[in-house]
């Protein structure tokens, strides 16, 4: 039998970062609120209540679609998707069926440095459901508890084409999509808390065959790792089914993190009949070309292009450029440092290294760093010019970060500007040689490792302000190894 | 003679002249309900505390304001599909028993703002589905002119209460004729505004693309005053028209001289009872005498309208009633052994036979494989029906016809035959499909039963409907007639 | 596509389909109720079958009247209901959450 190939497509749901819900004035931010305290007649599905479309949610969806190269049809509408579930208060979800806000785009992403492209069927807008709680597993619990704080939060669905060919590709596609959403500022990218969710369709076929095999939908993956693990599991499972001569059943399966396996949830025979029809409570949308062009003009540079540009323009490594473009705000901070005169590679190192570490420690996004880009740039410039040592620089940055002070001011106050004055330095060098005569003679006789303590002694004699590079040069000269 | 025999403007004069207070008026209405509604069944519940509180406030306003709203201090009733904050609202269904909405419908709030005094919630067919009021889960309402006959539906309680002088005016809803039909059967005025003229926010939905709230009142002027209070854009209902309502009062005085009025040939086809035809023909003669030109017109797609309606309305119903799941409101079945059984028990016990029929029908026409043949096709026929009206309104100012082919029929006469019941709305429901304006105005009697004339106007043509309706009303001169037993 | 069966006039509606509709719409109809509703629905569908006679070629579907487009609101938070108000009508709740029987 020919080798089997996977055909994979992802459906991604992203909650939009609006202030209010999709069709009512309740808050879109629902985490941490007491249960059922963020509802109104509309999102509670009370009799008589009506929806009203949130303009910003529509605009965010169109922006995302444009960033994915989608077409924005002039006419779009909402439809009702009818099914009963306790987290769906109205007994239908307002979604989009045959006339979504956008159609036909693609997403570029990288797998191990190699660039790929995956088609995007459509990006449409709908509303999120509430949340269910139960003791233990949903199907064995005696009862369930419903919280409707999340019901009605704007949810954008990005339907990918079945263009992925291996489980390994899937997380890369999802990472690139997440990055795009972060750059657009439309989603917070939090998979663990479910503001970004991913379902996958996977079928197998003999390599070289054009027709698709029988498709299985896999749900419940809440990390990049579990997405790949679930698809790898399905690949193995379906391979075994096919190799044993059986046929794969069309069904929906759920990924269990605990069991590291997928389990059948619903077969095609019991598939829902959602009875979509146009939402009579909402007039259709006519998306003006002016609005489309206005939104297009406001799009940020695509993340991959931004990465390439930072790498090439500033001589960064691929890895540095990737790290600096994870979020748009990271790239903006970096570019602001460069604009303030920091040498780009040093700026990248300082941002990715000490600054990121400090931000992470205090759980701050870089754009909220107490040390703004211009001030860090000033510090980097001083270090690069040898006016401050790298070590003191890092210490000062930490202090400035903690106190919300300017690092350069701290350096001035503490007299940490490195001394490079020759006469002064020579005096400290003499002192160091007197203090460590053994090290001096060892170094003279070729033991390189003896230089370190000597430089340390110079620094100590200077109270930390001696320029270490200059100190070691002067020590070499003074001990007769200046030519090396 | 009861104060409730007076029109809104007559009551307004009395209230302003301190001949009686709003509290006295409310008390009289409540007393009449207590003593007379036992034989009528128009009220599902009265709201005496709310009424007296609102009446006291109205009296303060009448004393303090130079020009209080026309409805200030006037006792009204709300069809029970309208959400009233803190007051049980059932839509005539067991599935909503005990439901106290935490909010007011926009129309309820607007009338409250204008000082109207709510005396109670009016009986109706369950979720407004019916033409006789016999589908109420709680009680039938009978026709005040003949207790063995139906008041019409679905706003039967609203129409009967006005006819019996238990409220000065009421609100109903009209999805296929549910205001106009009971208005005709009970001998009162009922207005079906154009779709989008009045907010549906807080109106428990029957068929969202067809529903409109409209007033029932003794006179065209009273109906106009209520309509003027409730009409206009509402940011909570995206389907309300942004067009200004304008001065509807002026229309009442304008007369019909010079108007071209169309009589749709299809509306006078077989099935029209002779007595109804007689009253309608007199009305035509009066209008001609007043200077209107009458022309016969054709609305050829009328023959398909009923079929389209009975696909579109059930389709929307099946979805609109999905929220009646017994989880957030209603009695529910929380002790059921499984969620599926909880849903099924709650809905099986909660829904009456007509609602079940329509939900099943609507589920069918939307389900995969049938959508195109039924739902989509019905939507296209809906376009044809609307085009018929647009075409004739290029030639005529308004259309006139009987409101219903018959006067009020006997209780139980059509309950076993859904199709016969549905046919009751044949002359009213095309206007809902097209979204145009309409009203029914009493024009006379046949064998002691009231007969209404329907006036249909173009989209947002409420003023035209009121103008023609007022002319019929002046000529008919029947509005002061009170059904026997309610004239005390 | 399953069309309207011309012979039948009622879209081939039978007891099995009624049972399916009852399940889809959570109507919980008993066998007796299904037997009673079937002829009623068939009669209605036969009457509704009239639609098939209308010439709708080239006619657009009307989902809504009024001709409105683009009715939207600004993205602003407005006060809603308290948890107490949200739960006040619920037949069963626990610790601020709505309680429903086992999902299975
Ligand atoms: Zn809400």
pLDDT tens-digit readout, A450-473: 999 999 888 887 767 777 888 888
Three-state SS for chain A is CCCEEEEEEEEEEEECCCCECCCCCCECCCCCCCCCCCECCCCCCCCCCCCCEEHHHHHHHHHHHHHCCCECCCEECCEEEECCCCCCCCCEEEECCCCCCEEEEEEEEEECCEEEEEEEEEEEEEECCCEEEECCCCCCCCEEEEECCCCCCEEEEEEECCCECCCCHHHHHHHHHHHHHHHHCCCCCCCCCCCEEEEEEEEEEECCCCCCCCCEEEEEECCHHHHHHHHHHHHHHHHHHHHCCCCCCCEEEEEECCCCEEEEEEEHHHCCCCCCEECCCCCCEECCHHHHHHHHHCCCCCHHHHHHHHHHHHCCCHHHHHHHCCCHHHHHHHHHHHHCCCCHHHHHHHHHHHHHHHHHHCCCCHHHCCCCHHHHHHHHHHHHCCCCCHHHHHHHHHHHHHHCCCHHHHHHHHCCCCECCHHHHHHHHHHHHHHCHHHHHHHHCCCHHHHHHHHHHHHHHCCCCECHHHHHHHHHHHCCCCCC
* Phi, psi (degrees; rounded to nearest 5) at A241: -60, -50
Interface mutation vs chain C, best among A19, A44, A142, A277, most C CBs within 10 Å:
A44
Give the pLDDT of residue C6.
45
Give the pLDDT of residue A271.
64
Calculate ∠ Cα A440-A444-A445, nearest 5°.
Answer: 120
Number of other residues whose CB lies within 10 A of the CB of residue B279:
23
pLDDT tens-digit readout, A291-309: 999 999 999 999 999 999 9
- Is residue B188 within 8 A of residue B473, CB to CB? The reply is no
Ordered mean pLDDT values, 10 residues apiece, chain B (488 residues): 96 97 98 98 98 98 97 98 98 98 98 98 98 97 98 97 98 98 98 98 98 98 98 98 96 96 93 95 98 98 96 98 98 95 98 98 94 96 98 98 97 91 94 98 98 98 98 97 92
Nearest-by-CA chain C residue for A131: C97
Could you please state the CATH topology (level 3) that the domain comprising A422-478 is classified under. Answer: Arc Repressor Mutant, subunit A (1.10.10)
The answer to whether B306 contacts C3, with C-beta atoms less than 8 Å apart, is: no
The answer to whether B323 contacts A283, with C-beta atoms less than 8 Å apart, is: no
Long-range contacts of A327-334 (CB under 8 A, 24+ apart): A327/A179, A327/A182, A327/A183, A327/A365, A327/A366, A328/A182, A328/A183, A328/A185, A328/A300, A328/A303, A329/A365, A329/A366, A329/A367, A330/A366, A331/A306, A332/A367, A333/A366, A333/A367, A333/A369, A333/A373, A334/A310, A334/A373
The answer to whether B383 contacts C59, with C-beta atoms less than 8 Å apart, is: yes
CA A130 – ligand 1 centroid, Å: 11
What strands lie across the sheet with A143-147, from one edge to the other?
A131-134, A143-147, C97-101, C93-94
Give the pLDDT of residue C9.
72
Nearest CA of chain A to the CA of B202: how many Å? Answer: 4
The answer to whether C97 contacts A36, with C-beta atoms less than 8 Å apart, is: yes
B 340-359 → C contacts, CB under 8 A: 340-345, 347-348, 351, 353, 356-357, 359
pLDDT tens-digit readout, A49-106: 999 999 999 999 999 999 999 999 999 999 999 999 999 999 999 999 999 999 999 9
Q: B141 or A137: which carries more pLDDT confidence?
A: B141
Q: Considering just the CA atoms, what is the radius of gyration of chain B in Å?
A: 21
Domain presence at residue B29: yes
Nearest-by-CA chain C residue for B102: C85
Question: CB neighbours of B18 closer than 8 A, spacing ≥ 6?
Answer: none
Q: Is residue A270 over pLDDT 70?
A: no
The answer to whether B371 contacts A53, with C-beta atoms less than 8 Å apart, is: no
Question: CB neighbours of B110 closer than 8 A, spacing ≥ 6?
Answer: B229, B230
How much of chain A exceeds pLDDT 90, in percent? Answer: 76
As a whole number of angstroms, the distance between CA A186 and CA A461 comes to 55
Catalytic residues of B: 79, 154, 178
Domain presence at residue B436: yes
Which chain C residues are within 8 Å of A54, Cβ to Cβ? 72-73, 75
How much of chain A exceeds pLDDT 70, in percent? Answer: 98
- Can you tell me the mean pLDDT for A322-337? 94
Q: What is the mean pLDDT of chain A?
A: 93
Nearest CA of chain B to the CA of A280: how many Å? Answer: 5
Any idea what the CATH number is for the domain that residue B22 is in? 3.90.1300.10
Question: CB neighbours of B357 closer than 8 A, spacing ≥ 6?
Answer: B418, C37, C40, C41, C44
As a whole number of angstroms, the distance between CA B190 and CA B224 comes to 10
What residues pack around ion ligand 1 (CB closer than 5 A)? A 24, 26, 40, 42-43
C 43-72 → A contacts, CB under 8 A: 63-64, 66, 68-72
Among B96, B205, B236, select the one facing A52 at the smallest CB separation: B236
Structural domains of chain B, count: 1
Domain presence at residue B138: yes
Among A44, A144, A280, select the one facing B316 at the smallest CB separation: A280
> B382 and chain C: CB distance < 8 Å anywhere?
yes
Of residues B425, B404, B408, the one with CA closest to residue B148: B408
Give the pLDDT of residue B191.
98
- Can you tell me the mean pLDDT for C48-56? 94
Q: Which segments of chain A belong to CATH 1.10.10.410?
A: 422-478
As a whole number of angstroms, the distance between CA B86 and CA B101 comes to 6
User: Of the ranges A374-378, B41-45, B203-207, C85-89, which one carries the lowest mean pLDDT score?
Assistant: A374-378
Give the pLDDT of residue C104.
76
Chains that touch C (3 or more CB pairs under 8 A): A, B
As a whole number of angstroms, the distance between CA B360 and CA B310 comes to 12
Domain presence at residue B161: yes
Q: Is residue C98 over pLDDT 80?
A: yes
Residue C57 tokens read as: 């070629």
Residue B89 tokens read as: 């609202």
Q: A389 or B424: which carries more pLDDT confidence?
A: B424
Of residues A424, A476, A433, the one with CA closest to residue A457: A433
Residue ranges making up the domain that contains B427: 3-261+394-476
- Can you tell me the mean pLDDT for A419-447? 86
As a whole number of angstroms, the distance between CA B421 and CA C40 comes to 12
> B315 and chain A: CB distance < 8 Å anywhere?
yes
């Amino acid at each position: 039998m020919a080798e089997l190939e996977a055909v994979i497509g992802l459906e991604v749901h992203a909650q939009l970062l609006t202030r209010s819900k999709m069709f009512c004035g309740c808050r879109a931010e629902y985490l941490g609120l007491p249960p059922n305290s963020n509802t109104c007649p509309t999102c509670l599905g009370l009799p008589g209540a009506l929806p009203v479309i949130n303009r910003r949610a529509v605009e965010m969806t169109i922006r995302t679609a444009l960033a994915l190269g989608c077409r924005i049809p002039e006419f779009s509408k909402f439809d009702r998707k009818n099914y009963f579930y306790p987290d769906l208060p109205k007994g239908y979800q307002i979604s989009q069926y045959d006339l979504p806000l956008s159609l036909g785009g693609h997403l570029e992403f990288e797998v191990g440095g190699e660039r790929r492209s995956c088609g995007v069927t459509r990006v449409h807008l709908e509303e999120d459901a509430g949340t269910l709680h139960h003791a233990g597993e949903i199907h064995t619990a005696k009862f369930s508890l419903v919280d409707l704080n999340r019901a009605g939060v704007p949810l954008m669905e990005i339907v990918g084409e079945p263009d992925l060919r291996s489980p390994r590709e899937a997380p890369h596609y999802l990472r690139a999509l997440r990055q795009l959403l972060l750059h657009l500022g439309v989603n917070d990218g939090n998979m663990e808390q479910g503001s970004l969710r991913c379902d996958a369709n996977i079928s197998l076929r003999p390599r070289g065959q054009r027709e698709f095999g029988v498709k299985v939908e896999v749900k419940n993956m809440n990390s990049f790792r579990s997405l790949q693990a679930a698809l790898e599991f399905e690949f193995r499972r379906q391979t075994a089914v096919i190799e044993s001569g059986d046929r794969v059943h069309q069904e929906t399966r759920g990924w269990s993190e605990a069991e590291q396996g997928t389990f059948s949830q619903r077969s095609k025979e019991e598939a829902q009949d959602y009875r979509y029809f146009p939402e009579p409570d909402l007039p259709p949308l006519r998306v003006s070309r002016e609005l489309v062009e206005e939104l297009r003009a406001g799009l940020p540079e695509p993340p991959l292009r931004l990465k390439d540009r930072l790498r090439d323009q500033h001589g960064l490594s691929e890895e540095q450029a990737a790290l600096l473009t994870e979020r748009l705000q990271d790239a903006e901070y970096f570019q602001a440092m460069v604009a303030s005169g920091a040498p780009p590679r040093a700026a990248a190192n300082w941002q990715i290294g000490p600054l990121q570490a400090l931000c992470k420690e205090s759980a701050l996004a870089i754009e909220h760093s107490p040390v703004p880009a211009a001030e860090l740039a000033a510090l980097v410039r001083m270090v690069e010019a040898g006016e401050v040592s790298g070590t003191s620089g890092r210490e000062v940055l930490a202090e400035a970060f903690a106190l919300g002070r300017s690092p350069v001011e701290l350096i001035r106050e503490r007299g940490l500007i490195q001394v490079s004055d020759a006469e002064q330095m020579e005096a400290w060098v003499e002192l160091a040689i007197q203090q460590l005569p053994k090290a001096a003679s060892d170094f003279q006789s070729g033991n390189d490792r003896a230089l370190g303590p000597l430089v340390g002694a110079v620094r100590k004699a200077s109270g930390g302000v001696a320029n270490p590079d200059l100190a070691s040069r002067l020590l070499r000269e003074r001990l007769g190894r200046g030519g090396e | 003679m009861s104060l409730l025999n007076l029109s809104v403007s007559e009551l307004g004069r009395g209230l302003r002249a301190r001949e009686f207070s709003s509290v006295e008026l409310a008390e009289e209405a409540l007393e009449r309900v207590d003593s007379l509604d036992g034989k009528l069944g128009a009220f599902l519940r009265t709201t005496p505390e709310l009424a007296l509180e609102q009446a006291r406030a109205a009296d303060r306003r009448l004393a303090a304001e130079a020009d209080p709203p026309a409805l200030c201090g006037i006792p009204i009733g709300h069809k029970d599909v309208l959400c009233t904050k803190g007051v049980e609202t059932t839509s005539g269904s067991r599935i909503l028993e005990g439901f106290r909405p935490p909010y007011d419908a926009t129309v309820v709030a607007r009338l409250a703002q204008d000082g109207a005094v709510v005396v109670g919630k009016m009986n109706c067919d369950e979720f407004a589905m019916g033409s006789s009021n016999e589908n109420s889960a709680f009680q039938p309402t009978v026709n005040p002119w003949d207790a063995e006959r139906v008041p019409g539906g679905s706003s039967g309680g609203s129409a009967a209460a006005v006819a019996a002088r238990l409220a000065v005016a009421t609100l109903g809803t009209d999805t296929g004729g549910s205001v106009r039909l009971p208005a005709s059967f009970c001998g009162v005025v009922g207005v079906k505004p154009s779709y989008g003229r009045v907010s549906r926010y807080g109106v428990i939905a029957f068929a969202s693309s067809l529903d409109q709230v409209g007033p029932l009142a003794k006179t065209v002027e009273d109906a106009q005053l209520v309509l003027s209070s409730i009409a206009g854009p509402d940011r909570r209902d995206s389907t309300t028209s942004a067009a200004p309502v304008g001065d509807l009062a002026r229309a009442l005085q304008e007369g019909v001289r010079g108007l071209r009025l169309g009589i749709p040939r299809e509306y006078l086809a077989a099935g029209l009872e002779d007595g109804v035809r007689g009253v309608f023909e007199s009305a035509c003669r009066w209008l001609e005498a007043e200077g209107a030109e009458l022309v016969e017109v054709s609305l050829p797609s009328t023959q398909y309208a009923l079929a389209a309606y009975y696909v579109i309305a059930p389709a929307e119903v099946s979805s609109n009633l999905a929220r009646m799941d017994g989880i957030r409101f209603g009695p529910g079945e929380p002790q059921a052994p499984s969620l599926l059984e909880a849903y099924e028990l709650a809905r099986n016990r909660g829904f009456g036979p007509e609602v079940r029929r329509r939900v099943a029908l609507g589920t069918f026409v939307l389900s995969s494989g049938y959508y195109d043949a039924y739902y989509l096709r019905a939507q296209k026929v809906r376009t044809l029906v609307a085009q018929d009206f647009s075409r004739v309104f290029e030639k005529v100012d308004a259309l006139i016809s009987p409101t219903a082919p018959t006067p009020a029929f006997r209780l139980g006469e059509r309950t076993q035959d859904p199709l016969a019941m549905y046919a009751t709305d044949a002359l009213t429901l095309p206007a809902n499909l097209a979204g145009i304006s309409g009203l029914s105005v009493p024009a006379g009697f046949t064998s002691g039963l009231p007969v209404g004339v329907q006036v249909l106007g173009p989209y947002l043509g409420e003023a035209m409907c009121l103008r023609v309706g007022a002319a019929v009303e002046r000529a008919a001169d029947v509005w002061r007639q009170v059904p026997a037993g309610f004239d005390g | 596509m399953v069309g309207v069966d011309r012979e039948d006039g009622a879209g081939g509606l039978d007891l099995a389909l009624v049972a399916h509709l009852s399940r889809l719409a959570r109507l919980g109809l008993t066998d007796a109720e299904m037997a009673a509703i079937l002829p009623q629905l068939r009669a209605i569908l036969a009457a509704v079958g009239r639609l098939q006679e209308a010439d709708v070629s080239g006619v657009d579907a009307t989902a809504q009247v009024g001709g409105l487009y683009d009715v939207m609101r600004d993205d602003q938070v407005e006060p809603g209901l308290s948890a107490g108000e949200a739960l006040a009508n619920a037949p069963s709740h626990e610790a601020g959450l709505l309680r429903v029987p086992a999902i299975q």
